Amino acid sequence: MLKDSSWEETAAAFEKARQRQPALSELLDFYEKLVKEQHAVTVNPASIPFDERLLRSRAGRGEPLLPRQEFPLDLPATEALFRTLCRLAKERGPEVRAAAEEIESATGWGGLDLQDLLRGTVAEEGYPFAVADQRGLDPELLNTLAEASIRPSLQAVAKTLGSFVENDRWLRSICPVCGSEPKCAELRGQELAAWRYLHCGFCGWAWPVRRLGCPFCDNQDHNRLQTLIIENHLTCKLEVCDVCRRYLKLVDSKEFIGLIPEVEVLLTPHLDLAAMDRGYH
């Protein structure tokens, strides 16, 4: 999660990442500034109301605590972050600048309601793509800006609700807080006491699961699960399942210290390509 590491640790991870993948420097520079702005956001606790009885009853039934469409947003903080990130995007090359200016004017006087966009991004994965399509905006950029803007609020909610999660009894592969799929896995701890954690792609919560097993289809057959090392990249590997053909990145914090899963995921687009080349999705 964003604030699990201090800003200094995060900046150090970006610096190392640039040394390891100089070809991605420009992208990593942009993301470092973006994450710095996310770190600087203070979410108003009053924007996170929750019904303790409802949460306890869902937890008792083994259900995720809060489906994504029920996540509240600190709207003033989220809108302010969106506008800051638009300005950051304009500092990139001329192409991105032009796309960011179009998004700024659409959400300024152009009739695209920013609050609707942000709430829609919470409720439905990929919502900004549909909006971009209707309005002729850059879909990738709009999605990046909207998703990055809601993240501090989502993670503040997950942190607040996390105390209701009984991690050791969950062991399922959807997020115990919001029910979303994982975005990456991480090995933590030492040798026999090492645990595999899954990181939620929506709210950022991380929870322990079995070392072996596909998080997407529950396949436990080790003959049909593989861990692939691509181009000698040892800090982040690929876990693939030959039953459902899905893949997940596995960040190895057991062997390497100072890794931040979010940064490792950004640093490894070649792993996504390698997975897709092999027929995984």
Task: Work out how close the CB of 219 gets to Zn ion at its nearest, in angstroms, rounded to a whole number.
Answer: 4
How far apart are alpha carbons 144 and 141 in whole angstroms? 5
Residues of this chain that bind Zn ion (CB under 5 A): 175, 177-178, 180, 200, 202-203, 205, 214, 216-217, 219, 241, 243-244
Task: Work out how close the CB of 226 gets to Zn ion at its nearest, in angstroms, rounded to a whole number.
Answer: 11
Task: Work out how close the CB of 136 gets to Zn ion at its nearest, in angstroms, rounded to a whole number.
Answer: 32
Q: How many residues does the chain have?
A: 281
User: Toward Zn ion, which CB reaches closer, 77 or 122?
Assistant: 122
Its sign, for the CA torsion 38, 16, 91, 266, is negative
Residue with tokens 């792993």: 271
User: Toward Zn ion, which CB reaches closer, 47 or 180?
Assistant: 180
Q: In terms of DSSP bridges, do strands 236-241 and 225-228 run parallel, antiparallel, or are they unpaired?
A: antiparallel
User: Toward Zn ion, which CB reaches closer, 134 or 163?
Assistant: 163
Task: Work out how close the CB of 215 gets to Zn ion at its nearest, in angstroms, rounded to a whole number.
Answer: 8
Task: Work out how close the CB of 6 gets to Zn ion at its nearest, in angstroms, rounded to a whole number.
Answer: 23
Task: Work out how close the CB of 153 gets to Zn ion at its nearest, in angstroms, rounded to a whole number.
Answer: 13
Residue with tokens 């592969």: 173
How far apart are alpha carbons 228 and 238 in whole angstroms? 5
- Long-range contacts made by residues 270-277, C-beta under 8 angstroms, separation at least 24? 270/230, 270/231, 270/233, 271/230, 271/233, 271/236, 271/237, 271/238, 274/228, 274/230, 274/231, 274/238, 275/228, 275/238, 275/240, 275/247
User: Toward Zn ion, which CB reaches closer, 131 or 214?
Assistant: 214
User: Toward Zn ion, which CB reaches closer, 178 or 187?
Assistant: 178
Cβ proximity of 58 and 169 under 8 Å? no
Phi, psi for 267 (deg, rounded to 5): -80, -5
User: Toward Zn ion, which CB reaches closer, 14 or 127?
Assistant: 127
Task: Work out how close the CB of 102 gets to Zn ion at its nearest, in angstroms, rounded to a whole number.
Answer: 31
User: Toward Zn ion, which CB reaches closer, 114 or 158?
Assistant: 158
Question: For residue 182, with 0-12 CB atoms within 10 Å meaning exposed, 13-18 middle and 19 or more buried, which class applies?
Answer: buried
